[in-house]
Structure 1
Amino acid sequence: MKAKEFTMNVLNGLSTGVVITLIPSALLGQLMKALSSAFPAFTSTATTITAMTNFTMCLLAAVAAFCVGTAFKFNLIQTGSLAAAATLGAGVVTPTAKGFLLSGTGDVINITVTIVIGVLVAQFIGDKLKNYTVLLVPVLVILIAGGLGMLTLPYVRQVTTFIGAVIMHLTVLQPILMGALMGLVFAVLIVSPISSVGIATAISLSGIASGSANLGIVAGSFTLAIMGASVNSLGTTLAHFIGTPKIQMANMLEKPKLFIPVMVNAAIAGAIGAIFNIKGTPMSAGFGFSGLIGPLAAWNETNQSAGAMILLIILFLVMPIVLGFLARQIFIKQTKLVSPENLLIKA
């Protein structure tokens, strides 16, 4: 298998695992908070739903490993063993006197490292063990990949914690500049094979950095939707921001010039978000407008006044639309750098 195909299988599997396990918490968690505040009688139900989605988050490593195993067309023995190893390498399980404590999503970067090792071990073994495959593959994958994952976990955690701390520190020192940078970077990530949610979770992106990242994604989403609206159906156009702008990934990678208007608008939106102190959480960063996760997270991080609601509507809806039409005017009609046909989503 070529390195590119191997990498894409891992990234796509990890991204799918992130979507399956983190979206319910990111979407319903924020919604439950809002409903609990508005309707106190709903608090008990909201608490139960929140507990369910929080538990699902703890399964990120196992689910991501299953998705990766499926991408590599592994059999059930290989896939199950990979899931067990990834869970060990994630750091979500802590031994206690009464048993094991399961908490958190784990370190996404170390989950990736563990999965890669597990895939390599499973591929190396292949069918060499013949009749002993069922007995030895789980043992070898879990001990080698899971064991190495547990060994690398403290060091990878230090690296990811350091990256997150540097970003947060720079955001405090230069909020507008870092806001623009976060918006730009995450707008690029959302239309790339790399999971924007996975990266945000890995470095625990929060506060203004998270809010700016979401606004950058929203601006990029609306920009692509509006510039390609003349050649795409209404449903496809809406899918850019209601769903995900990742549907443009193939076009973006084939025609890199499409990144220019996306990056410009995302940087503007991210900087404006920092100016107005728009915040988010590690669980919300990377989603943008999808499922209203970005706006809901920003709402829960504000004083939740009428003025705050108007501001969020302007920043998450009005501003991206205005920026999108400006991008269409500048990059399509005036400079002709981009053609609407470049953004056609082929069925």
Structure 2
Amino acid sequence: MQKRSVRDFLNIILNGTALGVVAGLIPNAVLSTLFKYLGKHFAANVFTTLSQAMYLLQFSIPVLVGMIVGQMLKFKPLESAVLGATVLAASGSLTFNANLKAYTGVPMGDLFNVMLITAIGAIAISLVKDKFGSVTIIFLPITGGLVAALGLVTLPYMKSLTSLLGQIIFKFTTLQPILMCMLITMSFAFLIVTPVSTVAMGLILFNNANYVGAGAATLGLVAAAAVLSIGTFRAKSKGASIAIILGAIKLMMPNCARRPQLFLPILTTAAITGLSGYFLGIQGTHESAGFGIIGLIGPTKAYEMNPGSLVQIILAFFVIPFTVAFLADRLYSDVLKLYKSEVYRPENY
């Protein structure tokens, strides 16, 4: 690995994580709802198999992150493969269940730990890759295994970061409903462009009967998607804009990390969208809270919980967030001159 600044190295980790998440997540995000609907009406076995394939692709995210980062660091094929395997083993995507005496899996794992072990693994591999000579094919994977073991030690601590954020957001659910909706919407709009899994956060926070709070969380993801899709479109990254609408919001993690000003239009849009969602009676469940408009899961669940609210749903999920996002982006970029539209353009996309 050639010499790089710490900033460049961290940018590679962020970009690799973002691309890996998008590559593994998009198929299920785009097609799962469609396949489930089609499977209910005809060729159930075919669409069940297709749905399972799309879902299982999400388990590849840690491997994809490691492989992509390895490629960005100019690693050789074996080195990238070892890094991918190392990240998978340490990600938390596969864990041993003592009660079942078997390994069980959850898609993606913990992204905080994925990024940490990707960085440590990349450094370790770069330090030893030229030291083993003809036995590299034996000892390089062993090195990866040792780094993975370290990752299993750090995994509980990285998971505790998500739990801590969950505890903070849970306090919002005890507030007055209007304030609760605004803060939850803003929180989820922020979290979606961080390594935190909003799906996991939704399951943790809204497994009770807080349907209004779950609806607000869903709208937070919509608000972030609205701002970032409009911004990338203005930056002439139309492919990225479409990908964000389809669910690839985490593609913008590196941009938001480098330019925190982008959180201004995101949080502004989220606050107004959350407020409107409360007055329009938007609801959700713990299963829909972390998805937004991905696969139309959020709007569909809101309609199921309040049939006859089609106009309110169109306003809350489409008209209001995208209108406010357009105005907020123009305010902060064109009027206040806090950033230029180019800051939305994703790298390596």
Identify the residue that residue 211 of structure 2 maps to in structure 1. none
> How far did residue 54 of structure 1 move?
2.0
Candidates 277, 280, 287, aligned match of 1:273: 277
Q: Matched residues in 2 for 1:236 and 1:55: separation?
A: 24
> How far did residue 43 of structure 1 move?
3.7
Higher mean C-alpha deviation, range 74-83 or range 172-181: 172-181
Higher mean C-alpha deviation, range 200-209 or range 45-54: 200-209
Does the C-alpha gap of structure 1 residues 132 and 250 become closer, same or farther in structure 2, counting only changes over 3 Å? closer
Contact 1:251 1:342 in 2 (8 A): no
Q: Matched residues in 2 for 1:331 and 1:174: separation?
A: 29
Identify the residue that residue 341 of structure 2 maps to in structure 1. 343
> How far did residue 236 of structure 1 move?
7.9
> How far did residue 318 of structure 1 move?
1.4
> How far did residue 34 of structure 1 move?
4.0
Alignment of 1:163 onto 2:165: yes
- Deviations along 1:20-53, one digit per CA (max 9) or x if unpaired, are 11222222223334445xx433543332222112
Identify the residue that residue 12 of structure 1 maps to in structure 2. 15
**Secondary structure of 1:59's partner?**
helix
Identify the residue that residue 121 of structure 1 maps to in structure 2. 124
> How far did residue 129 of structure 1 move?
2.4
Does the C-alpha gap of structure 1 residues 13 and 215 become closer, same or farther in structure 2, counting only changes over 3 Å? same
- Deviations along 1:225-256, one digit per CA (max 9) or x if unpaired, are 79x5xxx7796897596467889999988987
Candidates 215, 222, 226, aligned match of 2:222: 215
Contact 1:114 1:145 in 2 (8 A): yes
TM-score (norm: length of structure 2) = 0.74
Q: Matched residues in 1 for 2:274 and 2:50: separation?
A: 32
CA RMSD in angstroms, aligned pairs only: 4.1
- Deviations along 1:291-345, one digit per CA (max 9) or x if unpaired, are x516433413542665233322111221134325654886689xx3249x93368
Identify the residue that residue 200 of structure 1 maps to in structure 2. 197
Q: Matched residues in 2 for 1:146 and 1:328: separation?
A: 42
Alignment of 1:48 onto 2:55: no
Contact 1:13 1:68 in 2 (8 A): yes
Does the C-alpha gap of structure 1 residues 330 and 151 become closer, same or farther in structure 2, counting only changes over 3 Å? closer
Does the C-alpha gap of structure 1 residues 235 and 161 become closer, same or farther in structure 2, counting only changes over 3 Å? closer
Q: Matched residues in 1 for 2:25 and 2:252: separation?
A: 22
Does the C-alpha gap of structure 1 residues 313 and 103 become closer, same or farther in structure 2, counting only changes over 3 Å? same
Alignment of 1:153 onto 2:155: yes
Question: What is the aligned length?
Answer: 328
TM-score (norm: length of structure 1) = 0.75
Q: Which amino acid aligns with 2:18?
A: S
Identify the residue that residue 315 of structure 2 maps to in structure 1. 314
Candidates 97, 109, 116, aligned match of 2:112: 109
Q: Matched residues in 1 for 2:148 and 2:15: separation?
A: 21
Contact 2:229 2:245 in 1 (8 A): no
> How far did residue 281 of structure 1 move?
6.1
Q: Matched residues in 2 for 1:93 and 1:251: separation?
A: 30
Higher mean C-alpha deviation, range 133-142 or range 262-271: 262-271
**Secondary structure of 1:205's partner?**
helix
Identify the residue that residue 61 of structure 2 maps to in structure 1. 60
Q: Which amino acid aligns with 2:222?
A: L
Does the C-alpha gap of structure 1 residues 251 and 214 become closer, same or farther in structure 2, counting only changes over 3 Å? closer
> How far did residue 89 of structure 1 move?
0.9
Does the C-alpha gap of structure 1 residues 246 and 85 become closer, same or farther in structure 2, counting only changes over 3 Å? closer
Q: Matched residues in 2 for 1:60 and 1:332: separation?
A: 34
Q: Matched residues in 2 for 1:234 and 1:123: separation?
A: 33
> How far did residue 19 of structure 1 move?
0.8
Q: Which amino acid aligns with 2:155?
A: L
Q: Which amino acid aligns with 1:160?
A: T
- Deviations along 1:52-96, one digit per CA (max 9) or x if unpaired, are 122112222112211121122211221111122212112333458
**Secondary structure of 1:279's partner?**
coil
> How far did residue 114 of structure 1 move?
2.1
Q: Matched residues in 2 for 1:218 and 1:199: separation?
A: 16
1:127-146 equivalences in 2 (<5 Å): 127-142=130-145, 144-146=146-148
Question: In percent, how many aligned pairs have the same letter?
Answer: 26
Q: Matched residues in 1 for 2:128 and 2:278: separation?
A: 51
Q: Matched residues in 1 for 2:345 and 2:253: separation?
A: 12
Unaligned stretches of 5+ in structure 1? none
Q: Which amino acid aligns with 2:149?
A: G
